[in-house]
A = this chain, B = another copy of it.
Amino acid sequence: MSEDPLVVFTPSGRRGNFPRGTQLLQAARELGVDLDSVCGGRGICTRCQVRIGDGEFAKHGISSSNDHLTPLTDAESRQRESVLLKENRRLSCQVRIGGDLVVDVPEESQVHRQIVRKRADARAVDVDPVVRPMYVEIPEPDMHDPASHLRRLEKALKETWDVTVAGVDAHVLRKLHKTLEDGGYKATVMVRRGKRLIDIRPGFHDKVYGLAVDVGSTTIAMHLCDLLTGEVLASAGRMNPQIRFGEDLMSRVSYAMMNEGGAEAMTKVVREALNELAQETATEAAIDPNDIMEITIAGNPVMHHLVLGLDPTPLGFAPFALATDDATIMLASDIDVHLNTGTRIYVLPCIAGHVGADAAGVVLCEMPYKNDEMTLIVDVGTNAEIILGNKDGLLAASSPTGPAFEGAQISSGQRAAPGAIERVEIDRETLEPRFKVIGDDRWSSEEGFDIEPTGICGSGIIEVLAEMYLTGLLATDGVIDGSMAAQTPRIIQQDRTYAFVLHDGSRLIIVTQNDIRQIQLAKGALYAGARLLMDHMGIDTVERITLAGAFGSHIDTKFAMILGMIPDCDLAKVGSAGNAAGTGARLALLSSKLRRELEEQVRRIEKIETAVEPKFQEHFIDAMAIPHKTASYPNLTKVVTLPEPKFAQTDDAAGGSGGRRRRRREGRGKSEAAE
């Protein structure tokens, strides 16, 4: 018993000898064990609870026992009565070491506990709170110590938390005296990035929340998170109210150009939506909106500029110059979001004029910069944002896919919503199709299926095209084989082209030749962008593909490959990331460390501008064919039997110049509408 007791912390395995009487929390800190505290060791917050091993621990060569600790203190008894301190736990700030110990730090007592991620393949990351509540007890002012309230507060923060204050919000100064008086000179300070005081509350207060927002052109999605645990407490989403100013990005930029005050009007409505969603999530989670201290925002460059109140019109013309591509930190009130006066927004950095803070969010979500495998990430929207690379470097580009993948400019197309056809199979023999609609798990061929579909969404159109190709209804060049009309009534003639009748109910749902051209243009642009980056990287194949965004989550990746949207890859390594931009915003919300990581990585990404690369047009033309004119799909053909290619037309007929194609597309769109 002459030696100092040995204390071993699990799961970290950190260990050390400490004199009897040492506070257990102090021992943990000296060893660098990750042990939480909001109250600064005063037995109030119950966040430093630990479990003491009881018995022989051969592995550590010691015998541990609850008896090797000082008895339950009053603070512990109170906390145990209020059930905050669990039965077999102790508060490490209350107990002192009296003998050898094995101390288990449960997950919920760690500051840097892991952020919960739904996908099994997502990298584990730890919470590293941007804003932390710190409880302090301050001596009352006194004639013999004429230091100001702020100075005494700063001293307490230094002593209890080793925090050196570097900046205090004006509103904190303004309520400092009253708050200290109200709390009997006990207060909780909200400390941002370990140095700035952004709020103060009387007494003990351990609630601090944040919002992660993905401002999409179509929808705005918000998650309310506990900044300390990383937990998502509520989620909400709504249509982006800017839609009334224009469906897609370019029409909104045009609106800003053509209407005095147009940008301001769009800024106003999106900010109102953010305020409403914030209140909605706070209500859902039953928390005080005043406790929301941090907001992160991801969005494409146009959304980024409109939320920040920056002029979006330069984004409408080459060279698409952003006002700033740095991560932007402001007060929430600077963008008219009114929560706590000290609440900050952090807008993720942009990568380039067409590759915005949404793409940065995708990068943070997927962390390709940590991969050994050469990874292709595609976030499909009106523009596809494409990231290629691995730990040795990343390339980024944006490719103008147009809105076809979102169901727009498709004759029976519609947004992904209940009633939309999302899955399609065509019988190889009978050429009869069957389908599933969003909101029902059954195939249309199953008994009792009686839903009248309202249209085809993006994933549905991909599947029907892939199936038409696999059954020979569609040639490699994208032309519907009119001769098949003899074999099946599903092929019908329209003017000089043919169409496929997917459903003939109260509503006729067909796939026209023009619909197929739209998809060919979109998938050609997508493939060409990816291929351009592969050229720059000097590679011919990729090892992993991730599809991000709503569309990317809905489609069957096999069908995307059958149509040649993406290059060949082991299908086991092609996956969906869901709303990766939103997840990126959530990671940036919960971790200062990840913000720094992202800011560093984003600046290292090499930007490739598709519009100035002649090779892009070449790749585009080749990629119009299904699945592709020149690229091979060895991985795909292992699992799918592709039809023999048969080119009915010349190169030119399959494409021609982008300008010509676009004109033609528009022309057809019009005639279609006129029918």
B143 touches A609 (CB 8 A): yes
Q: Chain B residue with minimal CB distance to A396?
A: B146
Q: Are A311 and B177 in contact (CB under 8 A)?
A: yes
Contact yes or no, A322 B173, CB < 8 A: no
Q: What are the residues of chain B within 8 A of A147 when measuring CB–CB? A: 325
9 shortest interchain CB distances as A-B pairs: A141-B321, A150-B324, A148-B322, A148-B325, A146-B352, A143-B319, A141-B319, A143-B612, A146-B607
- Residues A110-144 near B (CB distance < 8 A): 141-144
Q: How far is the CA of A254 from the CA of B330 in the complex (A)?
A: 38
A44 to chain B, nearest CB (A): 25
Bound Cα distance A142, B609 (Å): 11
* Given A148-B350, A149-B324, A174-B308, 11 further pairs, Cβ under 8 A: A143-B609, A144-B609, A146-B321, A146-B352, A148-B321, A148-B325, A149-B314, A170-B309, A174-B323, A176-B323, A177-B314
A178 is an interface residue with CB less than 8 A from chain B: yes
* A428 sits at the interface (CB 8 A): no
Taking the complex as formed, is A57 at the interface, i.e. its CB lies under 8 A from any CB of chain B?
no
- Which residues of the partner chain B approach A611 to less than 8 Å between Cβ atoms? 143
8 inter-chain pairs at a CB distance below 8 angstroms, sorted by A residue, are A143-B612, A148-B321, A148-B323, A149-B323, A150-B323, A150-B325, A174-B310, A177-B323
Asked if A156 is an interface residue, CB under 8 A from chain B, the answer is: no
Contacts of A143 in B (CB 8 A): 318-319, 609, 611-612
Contact with B along A322-336 (1 / 0, CB 8 A): 111110101000100
Interface set of A (CB-CB < 8 Å, partner B): 141-151, 168, 170, 173-174, 176-178, 308-311, 313-314, 318-326, 328, 330, 334, 350, 352-353, 607, 609, 611-612
Instruction: Verify B319–A150 contact, CB threshold 8 A.
Output: no
Bound Cα distance from A142 to B177, whole angstroms: 54
* Nearest CB of chain B from residue A95's CB, rounded to whole Å: 36
Whether B146 and A609, one on each chain, are in contact in the complex, defined by CB atoms closer than 8 angstroms, is yes
Q: Give complex CA distance A386, B308 in Å.
A: 50
How many monomers of this chain does the complex have? 2
Q: Which residues of B contact A324 (CB under 8 A)?
A: 148-151, 168, 173, 176
Chain B residues in 8 Å Cβ range of A170? 308-309, 330, 334
Assess whether A151 is in contact with B323, with CB atoms less than 8 Å apart. no
Bound complex: CA A177 to CA B313 (Å) = 9
Q: Among B144, B308, B350, point to the contact of A173 (Cβ < 8 A).
A: B308
**Given known A151-B326, A326-B151, contact A320–B173 (CB-CB < 8 A):** no
Q: Please, how many angstroms separate the alpha-carbon atoms of A311 and B148 in the complex?
A: 13
Is A151 in contact with B325, judged by CB distance below 8 angstroms?
yes
Inter-chain CA distance A670–B611, complex, in Å, is 90
Chain B residues closer than 8 Å to A612, beta-carbon distance: 143-144
What is the bound-complex CA distance between A323 and B180, given in angstroms? 10
Contacts of A149 in B (CB 8 A): 314, 321-324
What are the residues of chain B within 8 A of A177 when measuring CB–CB? 310-311, 313-314, 321, 323
Distance, CA A147 to CA B141, complexed state (A) = 53
* Pairwise interchain contact A309-B168, C-beta atoms closer than 8 A: no
* A358 CA to B142 CA, complexed, in Å: 23
CB distance from A41 to the nearest CB of B (A): 26
CB-defined contacts of A150 to chain B, threshold 8 Å: 322-326
Taken together as a complex, chains A and B put the C-alpha atoms of A332 and B137 apart, in Å, by 33
Q: Looking across the interface, which residue of chain B has its beta carbon closest to that of A321?
A: B141
Q: Are A319 and B142 neighbours in the complex by a CB distance under 8 Å?
A: yes
A313 surroundings in chain B (CB, below 8 A): 177
Please indicate the chain B residues that have their CB under 8 angstroms from the CB of A148 in the complex.
321-326, 350
